[in-house]
């Protein structure tokens, strides 16, 4: 068996055709027709009025925080178990992330623990849909209404997933997506902000483009922004990928089902598998994660997989245990036992769209033989 990387993207649609068009026409920068087309098509797909394409998902989070005027003295509630991007955006804006533990079954933010952490300084709840199952949104929407909080939805892993039939990325004030190559659709590097609020959309556009003023003299600035623009080349890829998204999602779900079938025996050895569904959604399996009964057991199994040239990734490392935040004096003496266990014992197996069913069988055989 050839090595099986943890992710292989699939670029078999109109990607080359649209990229060739960019080269032939000379439209390669952030000026160019594919960008607005991609923004329009993706925001329509999710069911939002406005899409603002940016250079990556982390950039989208920076813009989302600033566009909502979150800064010094403000608190933003978010899960501790996630990628660093949302916490980094909050901290660099001068605000404070307030962390919440994970639900042991969905691995998402434990919505029952949020209300106790709301203070007069709380400005927003930033939710992150983790690994393939959406956050339970109804309680979040109710809290936001009760306490007049903004909702930022990090849907970077959720293209095409729904919550009670409504698209993820369609909730709250603003949502963000990433198009990194391991996401359901990719632009190489890339991201997008979505909102129904026109003013907010205009503000995001400005922040993406160095805060150039839409009117008035050029090169005169009233505010600091970033160059977080997406290129026409990236948008060309995105457009071609978006054409194939329904098939991609079917493939991902089929892969998840195949893994489940092969790996359910691991549960007798106290391994935890992702939930296949919840009351409000079916898993979309951005990645197929496993939680081992102990760190030692995880390390042993990951070593076996590595020896057999099967790629794996550890789960996210909690925000309250990040050395960079500890150095800043944040999250002192905070503990989140569920998230800590996930971070220590969890890992995921090859889950990319380019994975074949034979490869899934091989990975499954290695896991069941050695767990
Ligand atoms: C991938 C990801 C991001 C960051 O996206 P980039 O495009 O890599 O910057 C943010 N949040 C979550 C939950 C992600 O999975």
CA of 84 to the centre of ligand 1 (A): 9
**Predicted local confidence at residue 1, as pLDDT:** 79
What is the reported pLDDT for 189? 98
Q: Is the CB of 63 under 6 A from ligand 1?
A: no
What's the confidence (pLDDT) of residue 203?
Answer: 97
Q: What's the confidence (pLDDT) of residue 232?
A: 98
Helix (H) or strand (E) holding 42: helix 33-46
- Whether 191 is in the pocket of ligand 1, judged by its Cβ within 6 Å, is yes
Q: How far is it, in rounded angstroms, from Cα 284 to Cα 162?
A: 9
Structural domains in the chain plus CATH codes? 15-242 (3.40.640.10), 245-370 (3.90.1150.10)
Residue 161 CA to residue 284 CA, distance in Å, equals 6
E strands, the chain, are: 50-54, 75-79, 96-100, 122-128, 150-154, 162-163, 166-167, 174-178, 191-195, 277-278, 281-282, 288-291, 313-314, 346-349
Angle, helices 232-242/33-46, rounded to nearest 10 degrees? 40
User: Distance of CA 312 to CAs 150, 243, 270, Å?
Assistant: 36, 29, 19
pTM exceeds cut of 0.95? yes
Burial class of residue 219 in the structure, from the number of CB atoms within 10 Å of its CB (0-12 exposed, 13-18 middle, 19+ buried):
exposed
85 lines ligand 1 (CB under 6 A): yes
Dihedral of alpha carbons 249, 190, 176, 119, sign: positive
Name the closest-CA residue to atom 13, ligand 1: 156
What is the distance between the alpha carbons of residues 350 and 275, in angstroms, rounded to a whole number? 18
Q: How much of the chain exceeds pLDDT 90, in percent?
A: 98
Task: Report, in angstroms and rounded to the nearest whole number, the Rg of the chain calculated over CA atoms.
Answer: 21
Q: What spacing in Å lies between the alpha carbon of 220 and ligand 1's midpoint?
A: 32
Q: What is the pLDDT of residues 91-122, one digit of tens each?
A: 999 999 999 999 999 999 999 999 999 999 99
Give 156: exposed, middle or buried? Use CB within 10 Å, 0-12, 13-18, 19+: buried
Q: How confident is the model at residue 77, as a pLDDT?
A: 98
Q: CA-to-CA distance for 320 and 39, rounded, in angstroms?
A: 35
For the Cβ of 7 lying below 6 angstroms from any atom of ligand 1, the answer is no
pLDDT per residue as tens digits for the range 332-357: 999 999 999 999 999 999 999 999 99
The Å distance, Cα 357 to ligand 1 centre, comes to 27
- Cβ count near 344 (within 10 Å): 18
Ligand 1 near 62 CB (within 6 A)? no
Give the integer Cα–Cα distance in Å for 81 and 253: 23
pLDDT at 309 over 90: yes
């Amino acid at each position: 068996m050839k090595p099986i990387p943890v992710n292989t993207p699939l670029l078999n649609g109109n990607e080359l055709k649209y990229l060739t068009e960019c080269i032939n026409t000379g439209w390669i920068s952030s000026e160019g027709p594919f960008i607005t087309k991609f923004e329009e098509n993706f925001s329509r797909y999710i069911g939002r009025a406005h899409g603002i394409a940016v250079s990556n998902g982390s950039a989208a989070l920076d813009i989302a925080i600033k566009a909502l005027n979150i800064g010094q003295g403000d608190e933003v509630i978010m899960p501790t178990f996630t990628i660093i991007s949302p916490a980094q955006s909050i901290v660099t804006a001068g605000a404070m992330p307030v962390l919440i533990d994970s639900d042991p079954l969905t691995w998402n933010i434990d919505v029952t623990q949020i209300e106790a952490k709301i203070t007069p300084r709380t400005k927003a709840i930033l939710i992150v849909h983790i690994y393939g199952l959406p956050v339970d949104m109804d309680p979040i929407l109710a809290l936001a209404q009760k306490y007049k909080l903004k909702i930022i939805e990090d849907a970077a892993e959720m293209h095409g997933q729904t919550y009670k039939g409504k698209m993820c990325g369609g909730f709250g004030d603003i949502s963000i997506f990433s198009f990194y190559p391991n996401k359901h659709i990719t632009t190489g590097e890339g991201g997008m902000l979505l909102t129904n609020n026109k003013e907010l959309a205009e503000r995001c556009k400005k922040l993406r483009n160095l805060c150039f003023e839409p009117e008035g003299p050029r090169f005169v600035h009233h505010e600091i922004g970033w160059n977080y623009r997406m290129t026409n080349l990236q948008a060309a890829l995105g457009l071609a990928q978006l054409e194939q998204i329904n098939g991609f999602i079917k493939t991902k779900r089929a892969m998840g089902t195949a893994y489940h079938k092969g790996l359910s025996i691991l549960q007798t050895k106290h391994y935890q598998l992702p939930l296949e569904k919840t009351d409000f959604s079916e898993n979309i399996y951005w990645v197929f994660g496993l939680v081992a009964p102990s760190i030692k057991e995880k390390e042993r199994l990951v070593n076996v997989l590595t020896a057999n040239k099967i790629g794996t990734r550890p789960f996210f490392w909690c925000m309250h245990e990040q050395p960079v935040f500890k150095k800043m004096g944040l999250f002192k003496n905070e503990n989140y036992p569920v998230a800590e266990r996930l971070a220590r014992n969890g890992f995921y197996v090859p889950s990319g769209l380019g994975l074949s069913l034979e490869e899934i069988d091989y990975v499954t055989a290695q896991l069941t033989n050695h767990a």
